[in-house]
Amino acid sequence: MATESDLAMEAQTEAVTSEETVMKQPHRLERKWTFWFDNQSKPKQGAAWGTSLRKLYTFDTVEEFWCLYDQIFKPSKFPANADFHLFKAGTEPKWEDPECANGGKWSIPANKKANLDSMWLETLMALIGEQFDDADEICGVVASVRQRQDKLALWTKTAANEAAQMSIGRKWREVVDVTDKMTYSFHDDSKRERSAKARYNL
C-alpha cells in the first residue's frame, strides 16, 4: 500500500513532468511570418527588379524565429545592396502585392552597422510579438544594406489612413529607440486620394 510520502513524491513527479511538457512545447506566434532575401550586389545586366528576390522561410513559433535569426538574418553580415525582409506570410514584399499596392513605408536611416542590426532585431520582435495596435495595417519590414547608408523601412497597407500610419510610426520609433526625423512615403503617388498628402512626417 502506498504511504503518504509515496503519494507526495508521485504528485511532485507528475507536476515536474507536466511543467517540462509545457516548456518543451513550441511557443506559437499569433500569425505566420516569412523571411525574404534579395541580393542585388551582382545584378544581371538588364534584369528587371525582383528577379533576385527569394522567399526563404515561413515560421510560426518563437523557437523557429530565434533559430533563423541566429543562423542567417543579421543584416550587417551581408554585402551592400542586399535587402532582408520579414513579411506576413502570404504577402510578397513588392508594391505589386495587393496587400501593399495602396500602402507605403516609414523609413529610418541606420548610421552604423550595429545600429542596423539592433533596430532590425527590435523591429522583428515587436512584429512577431504583436506590439503594434494597428498590426493588421502592417505588411512587413525591410532592412537595406547600402554603401551610402543602411536603412530600415516598415511597409504598411493603407497609406491614405493617416491616423493609422501616425500611430504605427510613433510606436515604431519607440521600438527602435530613435529620435531622428522619420518620413512616410506612399508607394504609388497616383493611388493616393486627392485630398491626402504624399508624405507624413514624425
Residue ranges that bind ligand MGP, judged by CB under 6 A: 49-50, 94-96, 144, 146
**Cβ closer to ligand MGP: 144 or 165?**
144
Question: From the CB of residue 81, how many other CB atoms can be counted at a distance below 10 Å?
Answer: 16
CB 127 within 8 A of CB 175: no
Q: Which is nearer to ligand MGP, 129 or 146 (CB)?
A: 146
Which is nearer to ligand MGP, 65 or 165 (by Cβ)? 165
Smallest gap from residue 183 Cβ to ligand MGP (A):
11
Between the CA of residue 180 and those of 83, 108, 136, what are the distances in Å? 22, 8, 26
65/154 with CB nearer ligand MGP: 154
Q: How far is the CB of 28 from ligand MGP (least distance, A)?
A: 30
Measured in degrees and rounded to the nearest 5, phi and psi for residue 68 equal: -65, -45
Q: Vertex 59, ends 135 and 83: CA angle to 5°?
A: 75
Q: How near is the Cβ of 159 to ligand MGP at its closest, in Å?
A: 14
**Distance from CA of residue 47 to its chain's centroid?**
27
38: closest CA among 82, 94, 89, 72? 82
Please say whether the beta carbons of 153 and 105 come within 8 A: yes
Chain center to CA of 116? 13
Smallest distance, ligand MGP to C-beta of residue 15, A: 53
Nearer to ligand MGP, 88 or 94 (CB): 94
Q: Which is nearer to ligand MGP, 65 or 140 (CB)?
A: 140
Q: Is the Cα dihedral 173, 177, 181, 187 positive or negative?
A: negative
- Least Cβ distance, residue 110 to ligand MGP (angstroms): 12
Q: What are phi and psi of 24, to 5 degrees?
A: -80, -20
CB of 63 to ligand MGP, least distance (A): 31
